[in-house]
Amino acid sequence: MADAADFIPGVKGYRPDADEAAITGIVKHLGIALANAQSDSALVSCSDSTELDRVRESWLKKKLARSESDADLDAAIKAVCETMSDDRRKSRVTFYYLLAEKYGVLADLA
């Protein structure tokens, strides 16, 4: 299983005061997908519509129980893509953290 400590610096690059307990919760949720931090499953591809649909359906709707319209959720995903646009390899942990932060549910992940 991945160690949350490996992902904290990446999140703190965007949010210096990031909630480490929430990061740990995200890492725990993702489990085996993070076994290799450089694998495709540990990254989010903003150019892959299937991947972005998966983020919406599995993370936002299922895990975070968001009920906004797909268009609203897609806009939030796009905003995170833009925030992370300088990162060629977008960490799934950081991406998910930024989405959870947007919806004010970080405490639920800790």
- What 8-state DSSP symbol labels residue 45? -
pLDDT of residue 110 exceeding 70, the answer is yes
Residues 22-74 have pLDDT tens digits of: 999 999 999 887 876 666 788 999 999 999 999 999 999 999 999 999 999 99
Domains and CATH numbers, the chain: 4-109 (1.10.238.120)
Look at residue 38 in the predicted model and tell me its pLDDT.
Answer: 61
Q: Which residues pair with 90 in a beta bridge?
A: 44
Q: Is the pTM of this model over 0.85?
A: yes
Q: Closest by alpha carbon to 80, among 109, 62, 59, 63?
A: 59
SS3 90: strand
- What 8-state DSSP symbol labels residue 58? I
Do 50 and 44 form a contact (C-beta atoms < 8 A)? no
Type of residue found at 22: A
Look at residue 77 in the predicted model and tell me its pLDDT.
Answer: 98
